[in-house]
Amino acid sequence: MHQAVGIIGSGYYVPERIVSNIDLENMLDTTDEWIWSRTGIRERRIAANNQVTSDLAVAAGQKALLDSGIEAGEIDLVIVATMTPDMPFPATACIIQKKLGLSKAVAFDLSAACSGFIYGVSVAQQYLQNGTYRTALVIGAEEMSRILDWKDRNTCVLFGDGAGAVVLQAGAKEREIISVHLGTDGSGCDLLKMTAGGSLLPASHETIDQRLHFLQMNGKEIYKYAAKAMAESTIIALNKIGLSPRDIDILIPHQANIRILEGLAERLKYPLSNVYVNISKYGNTSAASIPIALVEAEEAGMLKRDDIVLLTGFGAGFTWGTCVIKW
C-alpha cells in the first residue's frame, strides 16, 4: 500500500527590487501598453547583485520549514527545481542543504525548466510513498534575470526572479497529492533554450560575442503548444482519479503569459475567474512560478479544506506536468 503524501508547510520569497514596464521603457524600444496587452505583466522582481539563486531558495525554504513546524533535522530529501543554478556544479541543492543545516538530507537538482516544480513534487512523492524517505523539501527557485539578454525586448520583459517551497511528508492526509501526470516532447528543444555554456558550445570569445549565453525563445511557436499540453495533462491527471475540470475548485497554472492562461481555461471550458493569476506582479519566474502562486492563494484564504486544487505547468524541453491536491 502506498502511503498518502501531503503538504505540511509552504513558503515563498521574491526579491525587493521591482522593475516595472515603465522602467523598461527607459531601457528598451517598448511600452507599458505593448507589454501589458501581450503578456499581462506590469512588473517583475529582480534579485540584488549579491543575491544568488540559493539565497532566494533558502529564504523560501526557511518559511516553508517554519510553516510546517518541523525541525531541519527531520528533512530527509531536498529537491531543487531550477535552470539558473548558482553554478553548473555542485548542485544548488547541496548549497541549500548546507545553508539550511539539513545535514541528514539527500539533496539534488532537477532540470525541467518551468515544469520543474511539478516534476520535483512528483519525484519526491515517489520516494515518500515507497518509504525510502519520510519528509522532503521541494523548492522551485530561479534568477531568470541572470540569463536574459537585456537588449532583446521580446524576451527580457517576460521574466522575473523568485522562489517557492513546500514540505512534503508521508502519512499526511491533508493537502494530499492525489494525482500527478508528466509529459515531454523533445522535438521542441530548439524553441526555448540557452545554447552556450555546456559541452555543445563551451564558453569562448565567439559564444560571448554572439550572445549565446542568454535565453533564446520562439514565443509564437511555444504559444501553440503550451495551452494544449497543459489542458491535455490536466484531463489525464483528473481522469486517473475519476474527476473532470468541473471538479476543480481552483486552478493554479504556471504564470507564463495571460494569453496562454486564457487559452488553457478555454480548452478546459473552465471559468477564468477560478484561475489564479499573479503574472502581473512577477512575470514568468519559471520553476518558482507555481509554488509562489500556490502560497499566495493560500495566504489570501482562497484554498479551503477538501478543495480540489490543480497545479499545471509547461516549459522548455518541452516538458509539462499536472499535480492534483485535495486540500
Give every residue of the chain whose pLDDT is below 50, as ranges: none
Is the sign of the CA dihedral 112, 303, 307, 305 positive or negative?
A: positive
Nearest to 313 by CA among 115, 83, 112: 115
In the chain, where does the domain assigned CATH 3.40.47.10 lie?
Answer: 5-173, 178-326
284 is catalytic: yes
Report pLDDT digits (tens) over 173-211.
Answer: 899 999 999 999 999 999 999 999 999 999 999 999 999
pLDDT recorded at residue 153: 93
Pairing of strands 161-170, 308-315: unpaired
Q: Give the chain's end-to-end CA distance (angstroms, integer).
A: 22
- According to DSSP, residue 136 is labeled E
Q: Which residues pair with 160 in a beta bridge?
A: none
- Contact present, 170 and 6 (Cβ < 8 Å): no
Q: Can you give the pTM of this predicted structure?
A: 0.97
189 is catalytic: no
Q: Which of 94, 114, 156, 323 is catalytic?
A: 114
Q: Tell me the CATH architecture of domain 178-326.
A: 3-Layer(aba) Sandwich (3.40)
Q: Which of 21, 181, 257, 284 is catalytic?
A: 284
**Domain 5-173 bears CATH identifier 3.40.47.10:** yes
Report pLDDT digits (tens) over 36-70.
Answer: 999 999 999 999 999 999 999 999 999 999 999 99
pLDDT recorded at residue 2: 78
pLDDT recorded at residue 270: 98
pLDDT recorded at residue 173: 86
Q: Which of 181, 254, 257, 323 is catalytic?
A: 254
Q: Find all residues with CB under 8 Å of 78, minimum gap 6, and list them.
A: 93, 96, 97, 102, 105, 106, 107, 108, 136, 137, 138, 139
pLDDT recorded at residue 1: 57
114 is catalytic: yes
The 8 Å CB, 24+ separation contacts for 144-152 are 144/84, 144/215, 144/284, 144/285, 144/286, 145/46, 145/47, 146/47, 146/84, 147/84, 147/194, 147/213, 147/214, 147/215, 148/214, 148/215, 149/211, 149/214, 149/215, 150/27, 150/28, 151/28, 151/211, 152/214
- According to DSSP, residue 216 is labeled E
Rounded Cα–Cα distance for residues 274 and 304 (Å): 13
Cell numbers representing residue 189 in the block = 528543444
